[in-house]
Structure 1
Amino acid sequence: MRRKPIRLIAALVAVAAAVAAALTVRTAFAEPEDPQADGADAAQLSAEETVAAMQPGWNLGNSLDAVGEDETAWGNPRITPELLESVRAQGFNSIRIPVTWSAHQAEDGDYAIDAEYMARVKEVVDLALEDGFYVLINVHHDSWQWVNQMPTQHDAVLARYNAAWTQIAAAFADAPPELVFENINEPQFADVSEEEGDALLAELNESFHEIVRGSGGVNAERLLVIPTLHTSSDQARLDAAAASIASLNDPMIAATVHYYGFWPFSVNIAGYTTFNDEVRGDIEATFDRVKATFIDQGVPVILGEWGLLGFDKHTGVIEQGEKLKFFEYLGHYADQVGMTTMWWDNGQHFDRESHTWQDPDLWAHVSGAWEGRSGTAASDLVYVPAGEAPAAQTVALNPNGLEFAGLWNGDTELAEGTDYTLDGDDLTLSAELLGGLAGGDELGEQAVLEVRYSAGVPWKLHVVSSTAPVAEDATGTTTELAVPVAFNGDQLATIEAVYPDGTAAGPADWTEFKEFGTAFTPDYEAGTIVFPEAFFAAVNDNSTVNLTIHFWSGKTLEYTLERSGTAVTGSAA
């Protein structure tokens, strides 16, 4: 049964009334000195010092949080000491270990957690602590599996939640203070307003706090982490979480939010293919709100998860250079506001078998941001026409406060005035240089140049030889249509889909630019662009859809789809 609205309103009023008084006991954020430099006892660290010491952090995603009977259920290998040691060796000072308890906890009675599973969680936590990590554990996918039913099953959900944290707190009561508790991941509640959800979360926060603090041992002073509803950074959700934290009147609490970027860019929809001013501005506005609401009031913040949502499909949804600019700037701005970051990795970044980075360039920019800025450029792609004498090309540099220090081709430093010229931040690659690098008929990447700055990670310029892409006619069904495409060295950027009257066709009919990886996916090896069932499910029967296929070279293709029942045909212009 849903709780009566008057109780929800009363809860909100109660926590809000405590804000002003409780916040006064918190000290303002200041960049702490290294607490280990003078041999300080970690147990004496403040919340601000603890969170600062956790920077940078990494998520052991899709392992102990996997929904199923085993930590390998979502495709990752079993966690080993070697894996944790390898991650620690990358320079991470903290590790977030998401834990889903649902499949290992009784659903009624005493809500007992399986002893074997608890022992496994403890084993992994102990291994990470032994490696020198700060470790954060939580209640993870339980948030959407059963905690979200709290509006209609209030007492049962609260009892199970309390039982879970009673057992977790008891199991780790004597763990060192480097272990941190986060009460719940991405909290959400079904079929209630955001304000009602805030009040329900405040109730869970209060229970969590009371249970952990009353469980004895190190838990009496352990750092506790409280999320916003949905781990959102919207101002109303930040304010509600601040009120809840203030009502607990406890200096050893941090707040947490998640950030996966400006959504259209993060998934590549609506034509947001580049890291433009709007995308950058979203980082700034988000982090500024978090800083003003929490950090400036003495409540440290952990960015518990961050990345790009497009990576849930594959890491090629966002063009390489554009994603690198996003990662570089986010790391920089998080440092500016004083926020600890914990990078989400579900196995897509750090290979858990070989213990190597799957994208070394991405890793270079993530880790480089821990030390300072890196220079970038307007693009990392330089297209030249295959089989033709190329013209000189200009690339606008973004030094990000650094100085240009040279242009290199492998181990060879290129000559200014001959190979290139620099006019302000405009780098012009000479026709002679490009002709020497990519003057033949071969298609694809021909060379990788490095723009080196006075500090940071060099910016790579990929010199690509291409000709105009060509599409062929195709037949298929509404289950899937694979359009043969000779990419000819080019890369797909985005696709527009409209009906003959100009209205948007396909999924997300509020925009003509479709979502990369959902409405279409390129297969460069097979030489196709695949339109899946999800695309045609949103296309009118007996209709024509006109496509404009955009490539990173700036070239476009016109293509027409015809749907009749389950039959689909495609024809090139």
Structure 2
Amino acid sequence: MKTLVSYMLMIMLLLQACSDNEEKINVEIGQTSFKFEKEGGSSILDITANTQIKVESRETWCKVTMFTSVPGNYQYKVTVEANPLNEIRKANVMVTANGAENKIPVEQAAGDEVIPAPEPEKFLVRDNLTTQQLVNEMGLGINLGNTLDASGNWFDQSVQSNFETCWGSPIITRKMIEGYAKAGYSSLRIPVTWSNMMQPNYQIHPDLMNRVETILNWTLDCGMVAIINVHHENEWVKKAATDAEDRKKFTSVWKQISKRFEKYGDHLMFEPMNEIGYDEIWTPWGGTQVDKAKAFGYVNDLNQLFVDIVRASGGNNAKRHLLVEIYNTGDSYAYDPLTKIPNDPANRLALTVHYYSPANFAILGNGEDAGWGVGVPSWGTPEEIKELNDAMEALKVNCVDKGIPVIVGEYACSSLNRTQEVVRLYCVSVTEAIYSRGMCPMLWDVPVVGQYNRETCKFDVDPLFLQEMMSIPAKYPRNK
């Protein structure tokens, strides 16, 4: 690739440090700046040094890699991607030695921004569409689990892609998202941990926000309904009900999300949080009715705060269909008298619950000991199937039949030390029990041990799994 920068006058960064023999530390940098055209390209950075150096760029569109290296003489390749924006963008290549830092400016010419014409299915808000009708359109749903919601502290946290892959997922591609749609799935839940790389004053990192929007667009381009939430952030989200600083963070996060995605239509839904409960106050195994009312009240308060933020944010958010989090996402809590549905001027809310019952099969692998229980090998007795259908029928009678739409945002079972046959039986049975009662089932699926192969972009782990899943909608046709 043609180099776009001519070498400029040699500059020298002199870093002096006293050692036993008073030797000077010298670092000579061969370029004072780089300029690239809008198409991008690569240039070589020459450095001579008699000490260890670190060379990096902190912008994802400007990358620095080692080109050649011999003792004392180093060449780095500075590579810039094509500029999709109609504005000049700037970065710095940072050269660090002996604690001192030198910046080499990088500038790229503005690109030709192409703003596509709005696609109706992506930006359209249908005024007469009820939330139940949207749930009907969602058909069978699936989660992009352990991906944008992944986090950790054992890897380089300065790059967004490292978070995306740290729990075993390859980098998500358009082809992967298209694979869900081609298989027959009509909705995708996109869990996100927004605190990853968060900047001061609770500002969401632009790389994360951009990545979420990219994957969202791929989802909407496939005609699927998408759900974006706040995931794996329970510690501070819980406190937002009582602590002013965490409430400020909750408000800031949802204001930013609402503003960024305000233009998208009713194929995008928001979900405020994930599996929030207050076990330290109340559980089904301990606590008074007063304690229970207090714990449920906190979740009710957060739901109302969420609805108020989104509705006041402008754009299509005034009519966006939203989810309401049930206490600990327990299915029976959806119709508990202490669960309060928020006041919503748009009247476009659905309840979201999760289903992982029985816990010693759905949550624990076979033989896995969690202290509170040990995983069992199988599922599917008449009693177990009745328990499933009773739970889903209760949701139908107490919610759906009363005009309250329901989305089962997660369900699955562990495959650890189990046959694929019993995993398939459970997942297909739960899907049918949910779908047949007018609700949307969204399978919790993750890389490596899930049903979808993100390398081949197909459900080739168990072809019968997909075949049996996709036979369900045909059995129970819906009016959309």
Taking structure 2 as the reference length, the TM-score comes to 0.63
Deviation at 1:249, TM superposition (A): 5.7
Write the distance in 2 (CA, Å) between the matches of 1:270 and 1:139. 29
Are residue 140 (structure 1) and residue 231 (structure 2) matched? yes
Write the distance in 2 (CA, Å) between the matches of 1:164 and 1:117. 12
Kindly provide the CA deviation profile for residues 346-382 of structure 1, in whole angstroms up to 9, marking residues without a partner as x: 1221111111221222222222223239xxxxxxxxx
Paired position in structure 1 for 2:45: none
Are residue 273 (structure 1) and residue 355 (structure 2) matched? no
Q: Which runs of 5+ in 2 are unaligned?
A: 1-119, 158-162, 283-291, 367-373
Indicate the SS of the match to 1:296.
helix
Are residue 79 (structure 1) and residue 172 (structure 2) matched? yes
Paired position in structure 1 for 2:470: 367
Paired position in structure 1 for 2:350: 254
Deviation at 1:271, TM superposition (A): 5.7
Q: Give the AA of the match of 1:176.
A: G
Write the distance in 2 (CA, Å) between the matches of 1:163 and 1:45. 29
Paired position in structure 1 for 2:293: 195
Paired position in structure 1 for 2:457: 355
Write the distance in 2 (CA, Å) between the matches of 1:66 and 1:184. 15
Alpha-carbon RMSD across the aligned residues, in angstroms, is: 2.4
Paired position in structure 2 for 1:392: none
Paired position in structure 1 for 2:141: 57
CA separation of 1:322/1:177 partners in 2, compared to 1, >3 Å: closer, same or farther? same
CA separation of 1:250/1:361 partners in 2, compared to 1, >3 Å: closer, same or farther? same
Q: Give the AA of the match of 1:305.
A: E
Indicate the SS of the match to 1:254.
strand
CA separation of 1:209/1:169 partners in 2, compared to 1, >3 Å: closer, same or farther? same
Write the distance in 1 (CA, Å) between the matches of 2:462 and 2:312. 45
User: Contact between 1:280 and 1:326, CA under 8 Å: does it hold in 2?
Assistant: no
Deviation at 1:149, TM superposition (A): 3.6
Write the distance in 2 (CA, Å) between the matches of 1:51 and 1:253. 11
Write the distance in 2 (CA, Å) between the matches of 1:215 and 1:241. 28
Kindly provide the CA deviation profile for residues 430-469 of structure 1, in whole angstroms up to 9, marking residues without a partner as x: xxxxxxxxxxxxxxxxxxxxxxxxxxxxxxxxxxxxxxxx
Matching residue within 240, 257, 260 for 1:168: 257
Deviation at 1:292, TM superposition (A): 2.4
Q: Give the AA of the match of 1:244.
A: I
User: Contact between 2:428 and 2:465, CA under 8 Å: does it hold in 1?
Assistant: no
Are residue 178 (structure 1) and residue 281 (structure 2) matched? no
Q: Give the AA of the match of 2:236.
A: W
Indicate the SS of the match to 2:188.
strand
User: Contact between 1:275 and 1:326, CA under 8 Å: does it hold in 2?
Assistant: yes
User: Contact between 1:265 and 1:274, CA under 8 Å: does it hold in 2?
Assistant: yes
CA separation of 1:220/1:73 partners in 2, compared to 1, >3 Å: closer, same or farther? same
Write the distance in 1 (CA, Å) between the matches of 2:178 and 2:446. 17
Once the two structures are superposed, the pairs formed by residues 79-158 of structure 1 within 5 Å of their partners are 79-106=172-199, 110-143=201-234, 145-150=235-240, 154-158=243-247
Kindly provide the CA deviation profile for residues 483-509 of structure 1, in whole angstroms up to 9, marking residues without a partner as x: xxxxxxxxxxxxxxxxxxxxxxxxxxx
Write the distance in 1 (CA, Å) between the matches of 2:236 and 2:207. 22
User: Contact between 2:239 and 2:247, CA under 8 Å: does it hold in 1?
Assistant: no
Matching residue within 125, 131, 134 for 1:47: 131
Deviation at 1:163, TM superposition (A): 0.8
CA separation of 1:206/1:67 partners in 2, compared to 1, >3 Å: closer, same or farther? same
Once the two structures are superposed, the pairs formed by residues 254-333 of structure 1 within 5 Å of their partners are 254-266=350-362, 267=364, 268=366, 269=374, 273-308=378-413, 310-311=414-415, 314=416, 316-317=417-418, 319-333=419-433
Write the distance in 2 (CA, Å) between the matches of 1:105 and 1:197. 28
Q: Give the AA of the match of 1:65.
A: D
Paired position in structure 1 for 2:3: none
Write the distance in 2 (CA, Å) between the matches of 1:277 and 1:218. 47
Q: Give the AA of the match of 1:134.
A: V
Write the distance in 2 (CA, Å) between the matches of 1:173 and 1:342. 24
Once the two structures are superposed, the pairs formed by residues 406-421 of structure 1 within 5 Å of their partners are none
Kindly provide the CA deviation profile for residues 154-200 of structure 1, in whole angstroms up to 9, marking residues without a partner as x: 21221111110011001111112211101111113362224322111
Q: Give the AA of the match of 2:221.
A: E
Deviation at 1:42, TM superposition (A): 3.8
Write the distance in 1 (CA, Å) between the matches of 2:310 and 2:281. 28
Write the distance in 1 (CA, Å) between the matches of 2:335 and 2:385. 21
Write the distance in 1 (CA, Å) between the matches of 2:166 and 2:411. 23
Once the two structures are superposed, the pairs formed by residues 166-565 of structure 1 within 5 Å of their partners are 166-189=255-278, 191-193=280-282, 194-235=292-333, 238-239=335-336, 242-245=339-342, 247-248=343-344, 250-266=346-362, 267=364, 268=366, 269=374, 273-308=378-413, 310-311=414-415, 314=416, 316-317=417-418, 319-347=419-447, 348-357=450-459, 358-372=461-475
Paired position in structure 2 for 1:390: none
Deviation at 1:329, TM superposition (A): 2.4
Moved more, 161-170 or 181-190: 181-190
Write the distance in 1 (CA, Å) between the matches of 2:338 and 2:263. 28
Deviation at 1:291, TM superposition (A): 1.6
Write the distance in 2 (CA, Å) between the matches of 1:136 and 1:250. 18
User: Contact between 1:188 and 1:230, CA under 8 Å: does it hold in 2?
Assistant: yes
Indicate the SS of the match to 1:279.
helix
CA separation of 1:47/1:232 partners in 2, compared to 1, >3 Å: closer, same or farther? same
